[in-house]
Chains A and B, each alone.
Chain A
Amino acid sequence: MLLKCYRQLAASGVMGMNRRNLSYIGRYNPRSLFPLVDDKLKTKRLAVEHGVTVPTLIGVIEHQHSVRHISKIIDGHRAFCIKPAKGSGGKGILVISKVDDGVFYRTNGQAVCSSEVQRHVSNILAGLFSLGGAPDVAMIEDCIEIESGLATFSHEGVPDIRVIVFHGIPVMAMMRLSCSDSHGKANLHQGAIGVGLCLATGRAVNAVKDDVEILLHPDTGQNLRELALPKWRKLLELACACSDMTGLGYLGVDLVIDKNLGPMLLELNARPGLSIQMANNAGLLPRLRKIESISHPERWGAEQRLEFAQTHFAAIAAA
């Protein structure tokens, strides 16, 4: 029974945790490059250097003593979010969607007073959300406004698009939608919905929540199969550009579409999760092996790589 299951998984080309760590992250992602993606502030600077669109940085708080001055930094901004620069898995992100008379309101309407915001920042600085508890800095950036066409797909929080890029070629993509179970977070293991996307068209292929296939969004009732992303080509170009600027061979790129500014880079991940396979109902391995068999994909231009991805990795109807 187990053996049969093992063979079926292997036949569908599903990638397991051990293989991801050893054959892809371990082999293609040099550790020296990890800080580029683990530190969101560095990623942001790198992106600005390479002309990749990112959410506007309002300010950075680096020292405990400057926590008190946070109100000066955010003065005049109606909506912003506070992030730990080295946070992982969406931990420690505080999104304020409205400021009213000194009281802050989170996206779900919960009121937060200024001292709580300061405490949150000081927790970030102490390393509560960073890997291994290392001291961290807090970034304050502009809130992303949700694209009107996507509003019905998400409950609280802005949906983001995860693209796995291997040797600069997009391999698989999914959209991550938050729902009430995930408390506004867009991480699948926290209960968010994953919608697999066809690389050729940007349309939904399949949708899962907690690793089980679903059809409708549990909060908004929206049919998830109707999801079709605007500016798809632009999104994929952005993903390719991100991969080029970091030099990481196996990379997870998280993108968002802002109502006003269009597609932009949210963050990068050198250890992208495996749930994208569930969302697409397809294994990663056949696609990765296809790219591994190309000689010198790094000499290809962005156009050629996109072309390759869109012709070879389009969703097959039968899958």
Chain B
Amino acid sequence: MNNVRQPFYVAIFLLFSVGISLSYYRHSTFDVPWLPGEKQHIWSIEAKIQFDGQNEPVKVSLAVPDTQQSFTKVAEHTASAGYGLSYLEDDAGRRVQWTIRDAQGPQILYYRVDMLVDPDQDQVGTFTLPIKRRVNLGAGPYETSARGLLEQAISRSADPYSLTAELIREFSTQSQSAEFLSQKRPRIEWLVLLLQYANVPARKILGLHLEDGRRRQKLLNYLQVFDGQHYKIFDTETGKQIRPKSFLLWEYNSLPLIDLMGGANTTVNFSMIKQEVPLGESRKTSIERDSSLLNFSIHSLPLEELSLFKGILLIPVGVLVVVFLRIFIGLRTSGTFMPVLIAMSFIQTSLITGVVGFILIVGTGLIIRSYLSKLNLLLVARIAAVIIFVIILIACFSVVAYQMGLSEGLKITFFPMVILSWTIERMSILWEEEGPQEVVVQAGGSLIVALVTYMLLTNDVVRHLTFNFLGLQLVLMAVVLMLGSYTGYRLLEFRRFRPFCKD
């Protein structure tokens, strides 16, 4: 028997040592710290440009961001097979330009910029004022109406910023005028025009809200208003000022985001991810470091995939928790790895909302299911009915929560519905077969496993380790394999076999 097992132990040993040494290599060569200590954050933002080539020369130019308030640009990369590349830098702002003689079929270009979060970076020297233009408002009905709004706002304001806020408020409260004006040009253009008319430098910019792991985002229009030395960014719908900490200006020279010659059907999508670098590493080295970091395995993937992997790489940890709790503790759960999925959705929904939502949905689902069981339906149809019902339930909860002003309630949609429906079905059978006690045991078991998993998955150390050290996946694999050959007792078996323990 020992001979049969030997390759197995060798495999485990190999996995362990390869995993550890890969991690160590990454630690020593790339200076990735073992623990998430004091660190700076780098936002990597990737623009993915897609268009269809039409068998003719193509020239694409994309507006790109530069160092600005709160962010310092540390590196930028492009990926574009076969394209000529140049950076254009002039008074009109920075742009990256791709060129090719002949492009056919769908084309994808990537541009990625790494922005270091830098609270010390202020606005000085990071922007150019819009060119002053003498604006002449005409005397048409639109202009008269707009001038009315502006005069109201001017009388109630003291400086450029309060004027902007008041003007946006005018647009929101005087909905009839706003409606009328929007027939001629969008609100943001009116705002720019009126501010310039009032001698306040302002322009339309394109910006991006930064949120870790977001994919397929679009740029949105915002209003940039200057008071001579500084500027502020306004949301033109709410009139609120945008805080610069998690907001990146992408295009701020009143130029189009993308210029494409020789192609059609252009789309630009943005993905972003937050990465950590140790404190004290100077900006220069982090530029060099980053390019070598890019060449390393998974971290060289496009950001869109990378941010997906940030979540996927956590799953093995959750799986390990399930294996541990079932083999060593002996907890019963409904559906082996269902709790991991529930825990993953807790991450999206936040804990309290998640737990309340889970109990609400499963509880209500059980009541409905008990009615369905009286209807004498075939199994597949019954589960389908439960799925549809769960979706209706989620929709209702979302609407009710939204109406009550609980925006948290909307996150309930992150639950995996098909899995929830199966859970409800299984639990209701369990209820009929083994009584409510077993349902409580298994639902409780699932919830405990989900909670433990959730705590681990939201732990900074765990997130840091799984994302930065791919080698640890091999170690996890080795641990799971080892647990798989454990033949000792489970913790709950001590209770089960307690008569044997007495003597």
A residues with a Cβ closer than 8 A to B are: 2, 5-6, 8-10, 12, 14, 16-19, 22-23, 64, 91, 115, 119, 122-123, 126-128, 133, 190, 211-213, 277-278, 281, 283
Contact = CB atoms under 8 A, between A and B. Distances in A.
Contacts of B486: 18, 22
Contacts of B498: 211
B328 to A, nearest CB: 9
B327 interface: yes
B74 to A, nearest CB: 51
Nearest to B491: A2
Nearest to B429: A128
A190 B434 contact: yes
A211 B501 contact: no
B487 to A, nearest CB: 4
Candidate in B380, B494, B499 with the most chain A CB atoms within 10 angstroms: B499
Given A122-B378, A123-B379, A128-B379, A18 B488 contact: yes
A23 B380 CA distance: 37
Identify the 7 closest CB pairs spanning chains A and B, nearest first.
A126-B379, A19-B487, A16-B489, A5-B501, A119-B376, A12-B500, A5-B494
A16 B379 contact: no
Contacts of B497: 9, 14, 211, 277-278
Interface in B330-370: 330
Contacts of A133: 379
Contacts of A10: 489
B500 A18 contact: no
B31 interface: no
A283 B489 CA distance: 13
Contacts of A283: 500
Contacts of A281: 499-500
A17 B500 contact: no
Interface string B477-503: 000000011111111011011111101
A10 B501 CA distance: 10
B38 interface: no
Contacts of A277: 497, 500
Candidate in A2, A5, A277 with the most chain B CB atoms within 10 angstroms: A5
Given A6-B494, A123-B379, A128-B379, A16 B500 contact: no
A137 to B, nearest CB: 14
B159 interface: no
B-side interface size class: 20 to 34
Interface in B432-491: 433-434, 484-491
Given A6-B488, A19-B487, A22-B486, 4 more contacts: A6-B489, A16-B488, A19-B488, A277-B500
A211 B376 CA distance: 37
A283 B499 CA distance: 12
B433 A91 contact: yes
A18 B485 CA distance: 8
A22 B379 contact: no
Nearest to A17: B490
B496 A18 contact: no
Nearest to A8: B501
Contacts of B489: 6, 9-10, 14, 16, 18
Given A9-B501, A277-B497, A126 B327 contact: no
A32 B330 CA distance: 27
Contacts of A123: 379
Contacts of B330: 17
B158 to A, nearest CB: 70
B379 A18 contact: no
A22 B487 contact: yes
A99 B494 CA distance: 47
A281 B484 CA distance: 28
A18 B501 contact: no
Nearest to A206: B499
B34 to A, nearest CB: 32
Contacts of A8: 500-501, 503
A17 B501 CA distance: 17
30 contacts: A2-B494, A5-B494, A8-B500, A8-B503, A9-B493, A9-B494, A9-B501, A10-B489, A14-B489, A16-B487, A16-B488, A16-B489, A17-B330, A17-B490, A18-B487, A18-B488, A18-B489, A18-B490, A19-B487, A22-B484, A22-B486, A122-B376, A126-B378, A126-B380, A128-B379, A211-B498, A212-B499, A277-B500, A278-B499, A281-B500
Contacts of A127: 379
A190 B486 CA distance: 28
Interface in B417-436: 429, 433-434
A213 B499 CA distance: 9
A23 B488 CA distance: 11
A285 to B, nearest CB: 10
A128 B426 CA distance: 9
Contacts of A128: 379, 429
Contact of A18 (B327, B380, B434): B327
B378 to A, nearest CB: 5
B315 to A, nearest CB: 23
Nearest to B489: A16
A64 B501 CA distance: 51
A211 B503 CA distance: 16
A223 B153 CA distance: 95
B66 to A, nearest CB: 58
Candidate in B327, B485, B494 with the most chain A CB atoms within 10 angstroms: B494
Nearest to A282: B500
A223 to B, nearest CB: 20
Interface in B360-391: 376, 378-380
Contacts of A115: 376
B254 to A, nearest CB: 61
Nearest to B328: A18
B32 to A, nearest CB: 37
Contacts of B494: 2, 5-6, 9
Contacts of A22: 484-487
Nearest to B376: A119
A283 B487 CA distance: 15
Contacts of A17: 330, 490, 493
